[in-house]
Amino acid sequence: MMIFRRSVLIALTVTMGIFALGQAAQAQNTPPATPPAENPLSKYVYPLAPAISSPKVTIDYSDYPQGEEWAKEAKVVVEQWFPAVWQMLATEGVTPPETIRLVFVKEQKAPAQAGGGQISVSGPWITQHPEDLGMMVHELTHLVQKYPGFPGKPGWLVEGIADYTRWWRYEPETPRQKIDPLKNKYTDSYRVTAAFLAFLSNKYDKGIVPKLDKTLRDKTYTDAVFVQITGKDLDTLWNEFAPKPPPASTN
């Protein structure tokens, strides 16, 4: 009886040992976890990051007092659209700034520029172009983006996303810049890239802009990201968007 019990015990120990070994081997050979299959409908939905309230927006027009009214209007645009653009990009888990400063200066080359929690605006520009409040949406997008530097960071895409939020989300009814298939390319930045992104969003994946934004945030962007999202490379996609006309016949 004792012997029988002992052999059962040994058998049990050996079995457990093999089981444990099997588990260890399995842990070693397990391929990296594949992400859960994406909901097939998700490509038809624009994904929004969690909502935030507006950071405090301050205005300083002491250098350009005649810009006061425009500055006050720009403040409202930033208060309303910063949270909106925040939701349109992949900001989940990111902490928004506490304050955004709008500074109006009488001398500045660029109509507006953004950085360090501040948007600096050319006074003469807003006097000549009072309708250009949309440029505030482009600039506040840069404050939302705040991408880290990394080798191969595509400046054209950074500007393209900022113009996408402006021209395709803030003022989609404004007439479009015409794309010239012979001259333009996706790397042209600004409105050309924005129009390309809008085309891809509509044709392939409504979430393409936030997806690209995420890769710029975590420094994993390469042009191959377009292949991962759409199954096609950038040149093929651009040719779908802006096909070159056949060469003119000579006869």
Residues forming the site for Zn ion (CB under 5 A): 159, 162
When the beta carbons of 141 and 230 are compared against Zn ion, the nearer one is 141
Q: Which amino acid is at 68?
A: E
Buried b (16+ CB within 10 A) or exposed e, 175-210: eeeebeeeebbbebbbbbbbbbbbbbbeebbbbbbb
Nearest distance from C-beta of residue 239 to Zn ion, angstroms: 26
Nearest distance from C-beta of residue 31 to Zn ion, angstroms: 41
Nearest distance from C-beta of residue 45 to Zn ion, angstroms: 27
When the beta carbons of 159 and 205 are compared against Zn ion, the nearer one is 159
When the beta carbons of 9 and 110 are compared against Zn ion, the nearer one is 110
The helix/strand count (H/E) of the chain reads as 9, 4
HSE of 167 in the Cβ direction (CA atoms, 13 Å)? Answer: 20
When the beta carbons of 145 and 184 are compared against Zn ion, the nearer one is 145
SS3 60: strand
When the beta carbons of 66 and 187 are compared against Zn ion, the nearer one is 187
Nearest distance from C-beta of residue 170 to Zn ion, angstroms: 14
Alpha helices in 175-219 (DSSP H): 190-203, 208-217
SS3 113: strand
Nearest distance from C-beta of residue 142 to Zn ion, angstroms: 6
Which 8-state DSSP code applies to residue 174? S
